[in-house]
Amino acid sequence: MAKTIYFIGNWKMNGNYDSIKEIETVNNFLKKKSISKLKKIIFCPPSNLLMSFSKKINTKLLDYGAQDISKINLNNGPYTGQLSAKMIKESGANYVIVGHSEKRLLDEDCKTIKKKISIAIENKLKVIFCIGENLFQKKKNLSFKILKKQILNSIDKKINFDNLIIAYEPIWSIGTGIVPSNNYLDQIYTKLKKFLREKYKVNSPILIYGGSVTPDNVVTLGENSLISGFLIGGASLKSKSFIEIIKNYFR
């Protein structure tokens, strides 16, 4: 059966109110009937823009996600700087990124990630869960061991995988312009699938790739049938490159 391909824009700490133009352009492109139906487009702007964007672009063609969620399982309270699951839902978002390597560097460990994932899913948010090894670990041939550990320490056995998108993002590829070879990716995704089937009894996990995805390299990346989409940073900031990624994937 043909599967849905995810194109998720991770804006990180970028964008302002004017950036809505970029989303409008993507939205207009999606209205065209000529592009495959089997796609899911999600934008994760900074949280200050979520509400206004999702209110202004009231469409079924695009979805939104937050870039973080509080580990405190409450709707409101005296917790400076925190964004609750309820607040995210109210902003119109249906997704949240958890475990991004840039967040792990700051303040997210596996215990926190596990908590956030469970709070998100409990509140009907789908989770984009990021995993990835750094260059040192890759050079030591530890990549898969690291990924396995990140999954085991963050994903509860009882989780419903319909609510989870696993984004493999090698840290050495994020923002560097370096993309792993298809051979390397094939080995990683094959092992991931096998591991998830054995440990979590899930046959069709949603596995995507992130790290320096561009309109050019998406063609080669798209040859890997185990990859169901992309988490796109830099190239998602401008509608032109984001649209080209989608077009080139399906061409």
Residues near ligand PGA, by CB under 6 A: 10, 169, 174-175, 210-213, 231-235
C-beta of 121 vs 221, nearer to ligand PGA: 221
243 CB burial (10 A radius; 0-12, 13-18, 19+):
buried
Question: Which residue's Cβ lies closest to ligand PGA?
Answer: 233
Contact 170, 180 (CB under 8 A): yes
Rounded Cα distance, 159 and 127, in Å: 11
In the complex, what is the shortest distance from the CB of residue 21 to ligand PGA, in angstroms, rounded to a whole number? 20
Q: How many of the other CB atoms lie within 10 Å of CB of 67? A: 24
In the complex, what is the shortest distance from the CB of residue 218 to ligand PGA, in angstroms, rounded to a whole number? 11
**Catalytic pick among 100, 102, 108, 133:** 100
In the complex, what is the shortest distance from the CB of residue 212 to ligand PGA, in angstroms, rounded to a whole number? 4
**Catalytic pick among 102, 122, 169, 223:** 169
C-beta of 38 vs 178, nearer to ligand PGA: 178
Sequence-separated contacts (24+) of 135-142 with Cβ below 8 Å: 135/171, 135/172, 138/170, 138/172
Active site residue 223: no
C-beta of 59 vs 177, nearer to ligand PGA: 177
C-beta of 52 vs 217, nearer to ligand PGA: 217
8 CB burial (10 A radius; 0-12, 13-18, 19+):
buried
Q: Catalytic positions, please?
A: 100, 169
